[in-house]
Structure 1
Amino acid sequence: MSTPPSSTPPPRSTAPAGSNLTGLRDHNTALVLSLLREASRGSSRAELATATGLTPQAVSKIVARLLAAELVAEDGRGPSTGGKPRTVLRLRPDAGFAVGVELDRRETTVLLVDLSGEVRHRATMPTGLADAPPRRTVELLATAVREALRAAPDGANLLGVGVGCRGPLDHAAGVLHRPAGLPAWDRFPLREALAAELAPLPVHLDKDTNTAALASAAPGQTAYLHFADGLGAGLLLDGALYRGARTNAGEFGHQVLQLDGPPCRCGARGCLEALCLAALDRDDTRTAARLLAVGAANLVQLLDVDRLVLGGRTILAAPEPYLSEIAEQLADRLPDRSWQHVPVSLTPAGPAAVAIGAAELVLAPVFGRGQGPGLRAEPVSRP
């Protein structure tokens, strides 16, 4: 339920002196920040210059701005390599926070994530898209987000909220489009409704499969397959999310495998999702895995990806059949495995992949990894 105005805590200042991120988001600054985020042991100015190809003078100027903005800190001296020991620089994780949300049919997970990607707060509520009218669900979600924000330190930069939600949906408009089995959500402006509850905090919405794919990001071409109470895919092509012309790519579960097959919640018959769910209803996990594997092999042959990553609670609850069946299908159907080797693995983010990737939607622009509608990497007062 929305917090009534009379009970809303007075806004607190959330921006340390000089820490407005909007003036720091040029390409080179974002590149330096990204390298520091990935350097668990820190990095020196000289190492940053080598890694970026920038001159030492340019790196020194960038670092000076980041130090003034309190986004990075100097942390002692590194080992000497024959000359003067170099000062170690580290990202300050508390310099910014984002909220990541997984909004599923029956459950909602809310995470508070710091600038390094570490989860600082986690909450799950047994309410999702199928349990209440859309407006009520948004109110409950806003309350959970406020609770997560209270776990951030006083004075923290609150960068925004990312939501991973089952599709189909229009990422650009923030609107759901006929999600299977959820007619009340058709054309519902989820991003706008949640942003109104949490103003002035910016809100970003994407498909759960896309956000989970972000949590498994790797160089090259990745297809992430997500099987929970539905089946979908997130595509990372050349390291960037591929959303398609209407921002709804990845409806992997609605490829038709059997023309006279069982009805699917989308209105068609014989969809891969419907066939897999029907097999699970019969407690036949091996058949569900084999069907999913056929679809996965189709996807690999269509897109020629570098790797397949699997996630979602149905797969994670019993991963072996899915891993082995997909590996077998790829071995049987790819023409030359020594040339087209496609490894299959589980998401490194585990059950929280959707929410972790949703937070990354908010954090990514700070590190120069793209921006979409609804994102502003600026500190705001707590809603």
Structure 2
Amino acid sequence: MAEHRRGANLPSLGGFNRTVVLDAVRRSSDGLSRVELAARTGLSPQTVSNVTRYLIDVGMIVESGTVVSGRGKPRTILRLEARSRFAVGVHVDPAVVTYVLLDLAGAVVAEATTSTPSAEDPEQVIRTMASAVDELVRRAGIDPEAVLGVGVASPGPIDAAAGIVLDPPFLPRWRDVALRDALGDATGYPVLLEKDVTAAAVGEVFLAREAAARDFAFVYFGTGFGVGLVIDHEPVRGSGANAGDAGHIMVDQGSLAGTPDGEGARGEVGATVTPDRLVRIAVERGIPLGDEGVRVAGGDGTAVDLAAVDRAWDALGEAVAAGDPLASAFAAEVGTVMGRAVVVIVNLLDVDRVVFGGPFWSRIAPAALPAATAAIAGSPILVPKHPVTVVESRRGADVAAVGAACLVLDAALSPRASALLIAH
């Protein structure tokens, strides 16, 4: 166990003016002069001078060249020093735990995975995760003091206030695991806990910089189906931080229904698109998913081999990428069903942007994204008259882990940091 708290840098960045300036510099890909910073932030030139001097002293921004603009002396450009601080992101998935190390600009510096430990021994869970975090930092050659903290993305439901993972349906042995405080004690870092779909949405906002959409739905397809929501640039967490459980939305399942003809049957989208069920259907249709697909299809469904499902999904993704007509048609059906469910969210919140992502989504995206886009745009029940932009997240399969690290970066670099930090 760590004997002291690292990451004192996180609260030391506090002070609204510092975070305002730092956030403005981060969002500008070309950097900003002090005059531009004053204009953009509304702070006085003297305040900008004082704040930038502090941020330069602690190494978070650097002077990087000058520009001549009109009359007067050249202006010095300030840019983010991305490798001055780092954040760790951890995604707890039923099949695998993913760890990423991000710099201040959100670039992935290092990543690793471990098998998901059983929560029958909570202390072993924490030891496994803490050692993986420490190894990630060590292998990257990063000074632990430069790590701002650890963000953890977990399936819900969670108790965000207490930092506890309650009883996720796909992690049956994970019940009332005090993950936040225990991992903080074991690593010495501040730890933030968030539901996976919300973490993914936070990452999307943070990494988009100036191009961040104001309102959007992040459709997350992992072991489960969920939706992260951002309204007016802010993630919607809900009173218990468990917003986004969209699996019970009823949809026309099309040929993915469990009836013989598969036509017109309605069911819950979450149950329709669980990856193990989809692997079974794919195998029945003759889509070659290798030995792992056969193993999943031959199981009784009571004890799902999640690792086998993941490997079978790899085979499906490879078939889609290769243009296999059966696999591509199947992936398109999955995208269509998800698109039908998303229409309900679009109608409810009047969002004009939908982002699809997650570990199971990224592998079928070439066929699933166009189908989902068509299902949304062509839906007979779509209410909004404005165009709805449908895109794939650029964060890849590790979107939840990257989003978890962005929770820490957002807390440290964004002007509302004081409201988000969880003190221990």
TM bucket by the smaller chain? 0.7 to 0.9
Find the counterpart in structure 2 of residue 356 from structure 1.
Answer: 402
Secondary structure at the counterpart of residue 146 of structure 1:
helix
Instruction: Give the aligned residue type for 1:330.
Output: I
Which residue of structure 1 lines up, in the alignment, with residue 319 of structure 2?
A: none
Alignment of 1:305 with 2:302, yes or no, is no
Q: 1:274 aligns with which of 271, 294, 303?
A: 271
- Between 112-121 and 131-140, report the one with greater CA deviation: 131-140
Alpha-carbon separation, structure 2, partners of 1:26 and 1:239: 21
Equivalent of 1:324 in 356, 367, 370: 370
Within-5 A mapping of 1:160-199: 160-199=149-188
User: Does 1:375 find its partner at 2:422?
Assistant: yes
Residue 270 of structure 1 deviates from its aligned partner by 4.3
**Conservation of the 8 A alpha-carbon contact between 2:95 and 2:116:** yes
Query: Is 1:233 matched up with 2:227?
Result: yes
Q: Partners of 1:158 and 1:242 in 2: how far apart?
A: 27
Report SS of the residue matched to 1:317: coil
Cα offset, 1:272, TM superposition: 1.5
1:136-155 alignment runs, 5 A limit: 136-150=124-138, 151-154=140-143
Answer whether contact 2:252 2:337 (CA < 8 A) is retained. Answer: no
Please list every run of 5 or more consecutive structure 1 residues that lacks an aligned counterpart in the other structure: 263-268, 379-383
Q: Is the 8 A contact 1:174 1:205 kept in 2?
A: yes
Look up the equivalent residue of 1:248 and give its one-letter code: N
For residues 156 and 121 of structure 2, the distance between their equivalents in structure 1, rounded to whole angstroms, comes to 17
Per-residue displacement from partner, 1:229-283 (whole Å, max 9, x unpaired)? 2111111111111111221110112334589x87xxxxxx943111113344201
Partner SS, residue 360 of structure 2: helix
Whether 2:202 is the aligned partner of 1:214: answer yes
Contact 2:252 2:340 in 1 (8 A): no
Q: How far, CA to CA, are the matches of 1:354 and 1:310 in structure 2?
A: 12
In the alignment, residue 236 of structure 1 is paired with which amino acid?
V
Distance 1:30 1:12, change over 3 A: closer
Could you tell me whether the CA contact under 8 Å between 2:183 and 2:191 is conserved in 1? yes
For 2:5 and 2:129, locate their aligned partners in 1 and report how far apart those are by CA, in whole Å: 22
Q: CA shift at 1:324, angstroms?
A: 2.3
The one of 236, 247, 265 equivalent to 2:241 is 247
Distance in structure 1 (CA, Å) of the matches to 2:108 and 2:416: 20
What is the match of residue 209 of structure 2?
none
| In 1: Cα distance, 2:5 partner to 2:408 partner | 21
| Pair 189,341 (structure 1): closer, same or farther in 2 beyond 3 Å | same
Taking only the aligned residue pairs, the percentage that are identical comes to: 35
What SS does the corresponding residue of 1:320 show, helix, strand or coil?
helix
Report the 3-state secondary structure (helix = DSSP H, G, I; strand = E; otherwise coil) of the residue aligned with 2:194.
strand
Gaps of 5+ in 2: 206-211, 259-265, 283-329
Please say if residues 105 and 130 of structure 1, whose CA atoms lie closer than 8 Å, have aligned partners that are also in contact.
Answer: no
Q: In the superposition, relative to structure 1, how do residues 324 and 280 fare at CA in structure 2: closer, same or farther (>3 Å)?
A: farther
Which of these residues, 41, 49, 52, is aligned with residue 30 of structure 2? 41
Note the C-alpha offset of 1:298. Answer: 1.0
Change (3 A) 1:232 1:134: farther
Name whichever of 296-305 and 36-45 sits farther off: 36-45
Matched, 1:74 2:63: yes
TM-score by length of structure 1 reads 0.83
Q: Which deviations, in whole Å up to 9, do the C-alpha atoms of 1:25-50 show, x marking residues without a partner?
A: 22222111011112233221011112
- Which residue identity does 1:105 align to in structure 2? P
Task: Give the 3-state SS of the residue equivalent to 1:185 in structure 2.
Answer: coil
How far off is 1:132 after superposition? 7.0
Using the TM superposition, give the Cα deviation of residue 133 of structure 1 relative to its aligned residue in structure 2, in angstroms: 4.5
Letter in 2 for 1:275: T
Whether 1:341 aligns to 2:329 is no
Amino acid at match of 1:166: P
- 1:160–1:375 Cα contact (<8 Å) kept: no
Q: Structure 1 residue 93 and structure 2 residue 82: aligned?
A: yes
Letter of the structure 1 residue corresponding to residue 200 of structure 2: A
Give the 3-state SS of the residue equivalent to 2:32 in structure 1. coil
Q: What is the alpha-carbon distance in structure 1 between the residues aligned to residue 380 and residue 353 of structure 2?
A: 13
The corresponding residue for 2:295 is none
Normalising by structure 2, what TM-score? Answer: 0.76
Q: Deviation per CA, 1:299-346, whole angstroms, max 9, x where unpaired?
A: 111111121000112221111343223222222337788832111101
Helix, strand or coil at the partner of 1:113: strand
Give the structure with the higher percent helix. 2
CA shift in 2, pair 1:54/1:344, >3 Å: same
